[in-house]
Chain A
Amino acid sequence: MRGDQGFPVRLRFAKRGKVRFISHRDVARAFERAFRIERLPLAFTVGFVPRPKVSFGLALSVGHESDAEYLDVELEDAVDLDRWPDTLSAALPEGITVTGAVGLADRAPALQEAVTAVQYRVGVAGADRGEVAVAVEQALSRPTLGTTRTRKGREVVEDVRPALLGMEVRPVHDRDDDGRVVVDLEVSTQPKGTRPTEILAAVGEHLTAERVLRTHQWIERAGARLEPLEADARLRVPEARAS
């Protein structure tokens, strides 16, 4: 998002609970309504149908939760970013909570291109902890990991191994609420995204990702791994509550 005239801002938000069943598009519409409810001075596109200048990051699958969603929005006037997280959260559906806001540096690259990896915490069903650990170890040691996808009505086998950056079974005491084995998973988003459910299926046919939480998104730059709020901040702003 370019900051030629306006004030670009990057928000981080969480999507937790029942609201995880709404789509990426629905989240975008909820933010647009929240911006209007709070009368934020949005910058609009010029054209027949003026639209607010908002751009969202990587889509999150319907049903998955997240503590690390981001969006960039351009404002016409500077606002007090300290108040933003609480104000916006109140106007958003329950479960969508804004946890940070920073002013963006000029000409910061778009979220979609900048983010290189995402991390998930997955509640796995279909095997006990020992079996999952073995399957993970084997998967990481293999040069390729085939998974079947349906593309344009045809079944094709794709290799998801290049997208799998890391996978680790959490200690026993880290079981999720329903007592499932928990796995941390890091997935590359370039050149295209891969779903955690697809990785799990490739790791073991019988394994299913029952509960998925996106915990981080990362921007890799000059060898360093940066959190998107830090990566392109114009000025540091103390973060509001992190849920």
Chain B
Amino acid sequence: MSNLWPAVEPLLARVQKPARYIGMERGAQAPEHRSDRVSWLLVYPDTYEIGLPNQGLQILYEILNERGDAVAERSYAPWVDMEGELRGAGVPLFSVDTHRHAGRFDVLAFNLSAELVYTNVLNCIDLAGVPVRAEHRRPEDPIVVAGGHCAFNPEPMADFVDAFVIGEGEEVVGEMTEVISAWKRSGRTSREGVLRELAGVPGVYVPAMYEVEYDGPLVREVRPRFADVPARVDKRTVADLADWPYPKNQLVPLVEVVHDRLNVEIFRGCTRGCRFCQAGMITRPVRERPDEQVRTMVREGLRRTGYDEVALTSLSSADFSGVDGLVADLVNKQEGTGCVGLSLPSLRVDAFTVGIASEIQKVRRTGLTFAPEGGTWRIRQVINKLITEEDLYAAVDGAYSQGWRRVKLYFLTGLPTEMDEDTLGIAELARNVVKVGRQYTKHASCTVSLGGFVPKPHTPFQWFGQNGIAELHRKVGLVRTALRKSGAQLRWHDPEATFAEGIASRGDRRIGRVIEHVWREGGTFQEWSERFSVDRWQDAMAACGLDAEWYVTRHRTADEVLPWDHIAAGLHRDFLWQDWQASLQAHGLPDCRWTPCYDCGVCTDYALEHVVASPVAPAGGSQGTGQDLSQGGDMPVEFLTHPSTRPDAATGASERDKQVGAHAG
């Protein structure tokens, strides 16, 4: 039976949110499966509401369905209640597009956006009726593929994934389709044969083609098993976003999902150089979409979807060349009702940003979000997030004075070299932000959101020993106590979940058994706090004879082979190590978009260049890029506590990237 709908339908009366499983979104496709087409099932290993908006998945869905030799459908992790119904009724995982058996696709492709979804990947493979361990799969089973940011350390998932895609997928999915198509035509005999062919596709890492040799607890080498398998797998990067105006038909879900609006990616990559930020490191260089193409995608997207809100997405949307003109035009020249909302989800902390936000949010100024990440100027130099207190106070003064009442501040704790005065600095900043706000409204509120730092592969902090559970609890407690009666609220991420994330983030191939153990003990949806228990992870580590602290809290040394050293994001190891040493000296590094190249390795090795419309820094970009506070109102002088610490404009330092930012609508 190719259509499982008759078997699925009776189950839907018994589950929460049954519309998660019906598909039917505007933009959904019902492709015709044929023996001469490679069928891809793109699976997002989290709930429908989280997975549906994922742009990477939607881009590949369209690109594959445009090909004559491929079809693509989608699936999402069924929630616990639906999983129970499926298993009870003996119904497998299915696509939402045509309700086809997941195990009948040629490829099951997973998006790995966070480590805590790994157990869901195993669950989805199992629900598809496919052996979870790659070594047990037969020629008739689908090829299990995984991509996304977490694929930059593929080793913890190496036991379960046949082929990883490192980097951007636009081009490589076509090349993989051709290899798999030839295999299908040849009668689909040797699984090893097709995997070896795939290992030859640039950007594809096939873990079964590599042997790991250990040196006690350490990895000595990850070595190809055959001469034709590359010793190092380099990431794929599309040179120019102008060639890839996707998604052209963004899916419009029938139920509410996260980021429920038109999303237009305005650039990819970021060179602000925040040392904790894996996204910024692995997506270099910066590639802006042409201004005119952005406008066309917004205009046509709104017209086609019926959405009344558009987000201009990137890692730091205020850095887009000419962003102010773009925003002004989009807000003021909308056709139709004029009720279109605009949001820039990732913004810098400065007055320029507030100026843009006030342009966007003409009414209903409720909340603005900034991410200073560190509590003192010293620690912000360490992490290379060079926001001065002046920047922050000017931004929040601008916000409160222009009618916003809620400011949300994102911080990390457990950062390298962090001392209690840095942690307590978070509370001090928040107290001062409340004071700024109270000058304008007694309803001013400030929420501090505190996350435990997890060091990520391919960043300068990949050598840093993460803070343990007790230490993170202690630091959260410091901030909590210091914020008493301050008028600021504190929210924090569970240090125990941070610990589990740390196991998988820098784990090696031995962590696969741990992930499988957690999954077998029922540990799915681990990023959902009501489903998470650190005991499962601790027990699994113990059962596998592994020391969790060794993986999580241990500092790595310069000579240590890291489990992901055979995967390349283009960043030279020397560059990362020097940047790590510079960070320990609290030494910042400017953004290379507007300063000379310091040879991180990406552009030179991959023959790429920044694609930016403007060679000069955006107006108002602070720290060595010409700060302009005029749009945000005057700075409250009493808060200029450290005038001497402002970075020198010449040597300047950069400011930051992935601002969780001003959400305007």
Contact = CB atoms under 8 A, between A and B. Distances in A.
A49 B306 contact: no
Contact of A34 (B9, B18, B306, B337): B306
Contact of B303 (A29, A37, A94, A95): A37
Contacts of A33: 26, 252, 305-307
Interface in B271-311: 302-308
B363 A63 contact: no
Interface of A: 18-19, 21-23, 25-26, 29-30, 32-37, 39, 42, 44, 48-50, 62-63, 91, 93-95
Contact of B255 (A26, A49, A50, A63): A26
Interface in B339-369: 339, 363-364
| CB-based closest 10 A-B pairs | A33-B306, A37-B306, A21-B18, A36-B306, A18-B22, A22-B19, A21-B19, A22-B254, A48-B363, A48-B364
A32 B303 CA distance: 13
Contacts of A42: 337
Interface residues of B, number: 27
B470 interface: no
16 contacts: A19-B22, A21-B18, A21-B19, A23-B19, A26-B254, A26-B255, A29-B256, A30-B254, A33-B252, A37-B304, A44-B339, A48-B363, A62-B19, A63-B18, A94-B24, A95-B24
B187 interface: no
A32 B306 contact: yes
A93 B12 contact: no
B337 A93 contact: no
Contacts of B305: 33, 37
B336 interface: yes
Given A21-B12, A36-B307, 7 more contacts: A19-B24, A21-B21, A25-B256, A26-B19, A36-B306, A37-B305, A63-B18
Contacts of B339: 44, 50
Contacts of A26: 19, 254-256
A39 B364 CA distance: 25
B607 interface: no
A18 B24 contact: yes
A25 B256 CA distance: 9
A30 B256 CA distance: 11
A36 B26 CA distance: 14
A72 to B, nearest CB: 19
A36 B340 CA distance: 11
Nearest to A208: B13
Contacts of B19: 21-23, 26, 62
Contacts of A50: 339
Contact of B18 (A30, A37, A62): A62
A35 B252 CA distance: 15
A34 B307 CA distance: 9
A96 to B, nearest CB: 9
Nearest to A62: B18
A30 B190 CA distance: 48
Contact of A36 (B12, B308, B363): B308
B337 A36 contact: yes
Nearest to B5: A18
A124 to B, nearest CB: 14
Contact of B336 (A19, A29, A39, A91): A39
B429 to A, nearest CB: 30
B26 A49 contact: no
Contact of A63 (B5, B13, B256): B13
Contacts of B24: 18-19, 93-95
Nearest to B340: A36
A176 to B, nearest CB: 14
Nearest to B362: A48
B73 to A, nearest CB: 15
A186 B336 CA distance: 43
Nearest to A34: B306
Contacts of B22: 18-19, 21-22
Given A18-B22, A21-B22, A44-B339, A49 B254 contact: no
B11 to A, nearest CB: 11
Nearest to A18: B22
A200 to B, nearest CB: 14
Contacts of B256: 25-26, 29
A93 B253 CA distance: 10
Contacts of A32: 306, 308
A26 to B, nearest CB: 5
Interface string B21-44: 111101000000000000000000
Nearest to A29: B256
Contacts of B363: 48-49
A65 B102 CA distance: 28
A67 B382 CA distance: 64
Contacts of B5: 18
Contacts of B307: 33, 36
A92 to B, nearest CB: 9
Which one of A33, A35, A50 has the greatest number of beta carbons of chain B within 10 Å? A33
Contacts of B336: 36, 39
A18 B13 CA distance: 12
Given A37-B304, A44-B339, A93 B26 contact: yes
Contacts of A39: 336
Nearest to B341: A49
A30 B252 CA distance: 9
Given A36-B336, A49-B364, A94-B24, A23 B306 contact: no
B255 A22 contact: yes
Nearest to A211: B13
Nearest to B303: A37
A236 B18 CA distance: 39
Contacts of A19: 22, 24, 254
B32 to A, nearest CB: 18
Contacts of A25: 256
A75 to B, nearest CB: 12
A91 B305 CA distance: 9
Given A44-B339, A48-B364, A93 B306 contact: no
Nearest to A94: B24
A36 B23 CA distance: 22
Contacts of A36: 302, 306-308, 336-337
Contacts of A22: 19, 22, 254-255
Interface in B292-338: 302-308, 336-337
A97 to B, nearest CB: 14
B298 to A, nearest CB: 14
Interface in B228-257: 252, 254-256
A42 B337 CA distance: 8
Nearest to B365: A48
A44 B18 CA distance: 32
A63 to B, nearest CB: 6
A234 to B, nearest CB: 25
Contacts of B26: 33, 93
Which one of B26, B256, B336, B364 has the greatest number of beta carbons of chain A within 10 Å? B26
Given A19-B254, A44-B337, A50-B339, A63 B12 contact: yes
A58 to B, nearest CB: 20
A25 B21 CA distance: 18
Contact of A91 (B9, B23, B306, B364): B306
Nearest to A41: B337
A32 B21 CA distance: 23
Given A33-B307, A39-B336, A48-B364, A93 B18 contact: no
B252 A23 contact: no
B26 to A, nearest CB: 7
Nearest to A96: B254
Contacts of B252: 33
A25 B337 CA distance: 22
Contacts of A48: 363-364
Nearest to B16: A62
Which one of A19, A22, A32, A42 has the greatest number of beta carbons of chain B within 10 Å? A22
B551 to A, nearest CB: 43
